[in-house]
């Protein structure tokens, strides 16, 4: 355990170039109320071991579930082959069992269940969810084709006639076919080219079909699935698995946010303009400390107005949380973020979360570098406010187009001044297409050298990066070249 103590500020930072603005901002920043910073933080890689152990346990359970369904299939004579039908039937049954199991795992990964989110973070969970997408689809296609073929062999029909027969006459096959169609739609809308063309809302609605697909498939599994129907152990396993997944989703995604938002009385308190295209939204409530939010985390914000209540969006908190208030800073990116700039005080909100592992919990080093671009500033600003640090321990790099119109820049200056952090506000156009740093003195050097010049201890720092996905990846490349180990790099991408 490393104890950190109070300190005197030692860094002076430049003020706004506009005298009027500088005057106004000086008043504003003097009034800036900051929480008391954390005084203790556990450092070193050892603390990550307990997270790794929990991850191992979760992964072991997931692998066990796949092994379990395969073993029950084998014990049930699934691999006793005798002619073409037995081979096709084996493919039909095994693909169904493994695909359904993986589909439930995939659903848990994307469901933003807090206890899983704490272990993996949403970015990592989403990456594994996406990786499982194709194998699950191929298994379901194989199951669909093999089941029609197997029935066709039994009934001595061609596969088209058999498919029609199954849909019309076999119990629950119509809903199972609907489930299959929904699944195809979900996968098609997830393909990169399609995703780029879809609005977030259209993509989100299409993905709700994923839940519909799982629900539509359930009846045929229990009524015609020979590996479940009439088998008490298998029935108990699958009923348990479905209740476990459904319980987590219904409670954490729907009931818990509604209950908590009303219990804590969450409402918009005020909206303050931060720059020409961003505002801070203050959400007030009572006993908010009980929610356990940490700087660097985000919530899914649902503003309960007549026309927008059904459209929720993720936003990081932009100030360290207090018992009475949670603040977001929202940049205009589309219709909803535009509407949020003028949302009325008093409007009720529902907050889902807090989510994310972009917090001090993942910090391992004494030195910390916080790197933000544009509207990536909110979580960086919140982290800077209460991170446990001595003067000079933290460097902040804020990459902006225009330093006079960058959200939260003056607050970052004030925090750096009060806490003795180094602040580098880097504005202007990029030095060249492959660079994330601005043109200017020294821009003939590669980014990683310029970064090391700016922050000499970068290889020994924990680095927190927040900004657009492509920009974040370029910064990560510079960090690798500058010698910062992977375990010390933490990124929050504002991507879905
Ligand atoms: C973890 C996380 C934290 C974020 N924190 C902040 C923040 O602190 N401040 C801030 O201004 N923005 C933040 N964002 C981005 C913000 O959620 C989107 O800008 C916002 O949802 C856009 O909504 P819109 O309807 O106005 O725009 P749209 O027209 O729907 O989309 C504009 C852009 O935002 C993206 N987008 C839209 N909806 C979402 C969504 N639900 N999730 C992710 N991306 C989306 C789209 O891909 C598109 O590029 C964060 C995103 C994520 C994933």
> What is the pLDDT at residue 372?
98
Find the 230 Cα to ligand 1 centroid distance in Å: 48
What residue ranges do the domains of the chain occupy?
A: 52-255, 264-359, 363-493
Hey, which of 312, 313, 470 would you mutate to test ligand 1's pocket, going by the most ligand atoms within 8 Å of its Cβ? Answer: 313
CB 227 within 8 A of CB 75: no
Which residues make Cβ contacts (< 8 Å) with residue 156, sequence separation at least 6? none
Domain 264-359 is found in CATH 3.80.10.10: no
Who contacts 385 (Cβ-Cβ below 8 Å, separation ≥6)? 34, 35, 37, 295, 319, 320, 415
Does the beta carbon of 315 sit less than 6 angstroms from any atom of ligand 1? yes
- Neighbouring residues of 456: CB distance < 8 A, sequence distance ≥ 6: none
333 lines ligand 1 (CB under 6 A): yes
Q: Considering only CA atoms, which of 103, 119, 111, 100 is closest in space to residue 59? A: 119
Q: Whose CA is nearest to atom 21 of ligand 1?
A: 313
Using DSSP's 3-state secondary structure scheme, residue 309 falls into coil
The finding on whether 378 has its CB within 6 A of some atom of ligand 1 is yes
State whether the Cα torsion 212-217-222-227 is positive or negative.
negative
* Strand 278-284 versus strand 267-275 pairing type: antiparallel
Q: Which long-range contacts (CB under 8 A, 24 or more apart) does 244-253 make?
A: 245/104, 245/107, 245/108, 245/111, 248/108, 248/111, 248/113, 249/107, 249/111, 249/113, 249/211, 252/111, 252/112, 252/113, 252/114, 253/111, 253/112, 253/352
Task: Using 70 as the pLDDT threshold, list the residues of the chain that sit under it.
Answer: 1-30, 192-194, 496
- 291 with 264: CB under 8 angstroms? yes
Which residue's CA lies nearest to atom 28 of ligand 1?
334
Question: 470 CB less than 6 Å from ligand 1?
Answer: no
337 lines ligand 1 (CB under 6 A): yes
Taking a C-beta distance cutoff of 8 angstroms, is the pair 426, 437 a contact? Answer: yes
420 lines ligand 1 (CB under 6 A): no
Radius of gyration of the chain (CA): 27
Which ligand 1 atom lies nearest to the CA of residue 330?
11
Secondary-structure class of domain 363-493 per CATH: alpha beta
Q: Is 336 in the pocket of ligand 1 (CB under 6 A)?
A: yes
Q: Give the pLDDT confidence score for residue 205 in this predicted structure.
A: 79
Residue owning the nearest CA to atom 9 of ligand 1: 330
For ligand 1, whether the C-beta of 202 sits within 6 Å is no
CA dist., res. 80 & res. 88, Å (int): 12
Candidates 194, 314, 468: which one to mutate for ligand 1, based on the most atoms within 8 Å of Cβ? 314
**Residue 104 and residue 140 in contact, taking contact as beta carbons nearer than 8 Å:** no
Rounded Cα–Cα distance for residues 172 and 175 (Å): 6
Q: Measured in Å, how far apart are the chain's first and last C-alpha atoms?
A: 36
Residue 317: how many other CB atoms lie within 10 Å:
28
Q: Which stretches of 252-344 are assigned E, i.e. beta strand?
A: 267-275, 278-284, 298-303, 313-316, 325-331
Which DSSP string corresponds to 82-112? -SHHHHHHHHHHHHHHHHHHHHHHHHHHHTT
Q: Where are the alpha helices (DSSP H) in 34-77?
A: 46-75
Give the pLDDT of residue 30.
65
Distance CA 304, CA 474 (A): 38
* Nearest residue (CA) to ligand 1, atom 51: 494
Given this chain, do its domains 264-359 and 363-493 carry the same CATH topology? no
CA distance 242 to 493: 31
pLDDT at 69: 97
Q: How far is the CA of 194 from the centre of ligand 1 (A)?
A: 18
Provide the pLDDT for residue 15.
37
From atom 37 of ligand 1, which residue's Cα is the shortest distance away?
Answer: 200
Length of the chain: 496
């Amino acid at each position: 355990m490393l104890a950190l103590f109070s300190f005197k500020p030692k860094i002076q930072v430049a003020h706004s170039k506009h005298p009027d603005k500088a005057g106004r901002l000086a008043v504003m920043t003097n009034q800036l109320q900051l929480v008391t910073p954390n005084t203790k933080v556990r450092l070193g890689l050892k603390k990550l071991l307990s997270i790794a152990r929990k991850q191992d346990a979760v992964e072991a359970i997931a692998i066990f579930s796949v092994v379990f369904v395969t073993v029950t299939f084998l014990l049930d004579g699934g691999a006793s082959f005798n002619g073409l039908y037995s081979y096709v039937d084996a493919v039909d049954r095994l693909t169904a069992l493994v695909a359904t199991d993986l589909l439930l795992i995939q659903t848990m990964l994307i469901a933003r269940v807090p206890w899983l989110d704490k272990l993996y973070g949403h970015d990592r969970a989403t990456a594994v969810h996406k990786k499982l997408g194709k194998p699950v689809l191929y298994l379901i296609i194989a199951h669909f084709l093999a089941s029609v073929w197997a029935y066709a062999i039994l009934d001595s029909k061609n596969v088209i006639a058999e498919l029609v027969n199954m849909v019309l006459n076999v119990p629950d096959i119509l809903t199972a076919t609907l489930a299959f169609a929904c699944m195809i739609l979900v996968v098609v809308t997830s393909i990169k080219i399609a995703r780029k063309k879809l609005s977030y809302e259209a993509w989100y609605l299409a993905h709700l079909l994923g839940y519909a697909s799982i629900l539509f498939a359930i009846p045929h599994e229990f009524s015609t699935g020979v590996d479940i129907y009439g088998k008490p152990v298998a029935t108990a396993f699958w009923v348990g698995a479905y209740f476990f997944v459904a319980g987590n989703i219904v409670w954490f995604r729907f009931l818990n946010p509604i209950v908590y938002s009303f219990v804590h009385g969450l409402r918009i308190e005020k909206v303050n303009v931060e720059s020409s295209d961003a505002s801070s939204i203050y959400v007030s409530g009572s006993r908010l400390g009980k929610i356990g939010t940490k700087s660097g985390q985000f919530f899914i914000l649902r503003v309960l107005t007549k026309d927008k209540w059904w459209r929720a969006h993720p936003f990081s908190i932009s100030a360290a949380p207090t018992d009475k208030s949670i603040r977001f800073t929202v940049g205009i990116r589309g219709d909803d973020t535009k509407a949020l700039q003028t949302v009325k005080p008093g409007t009720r909100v529902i907050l889902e979360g807090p989510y994310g592992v972009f917090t001090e919990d993942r910090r391992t080093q004494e030195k910390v570098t916080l790197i933000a671009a544009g509207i990536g500033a909110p979580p960086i600003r919140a982290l800077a406010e209460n991170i446990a640090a001595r003067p000079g321990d933290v460097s902040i790099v804020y990459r902006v187009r225009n330093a006079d119109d960058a959200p939260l820049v003056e607050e970052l200056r004030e925090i750096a001044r009060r806490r003795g952090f180094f602040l580098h506000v880097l504005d202007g156009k990029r030095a060249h297409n492959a660079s994330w740093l601005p043109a200017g003195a020294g821009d003939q050097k590669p980014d990683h050298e310029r970064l090391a010049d700016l922050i000499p201890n970068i290889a020994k720092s924990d680095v927190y990066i927040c900004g657009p996905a492509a920009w974040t990846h370029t910064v990560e490349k510079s960090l690798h070249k500058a010698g910062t180990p992977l375990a010390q790099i933490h990124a929050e991408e504002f991507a879905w």
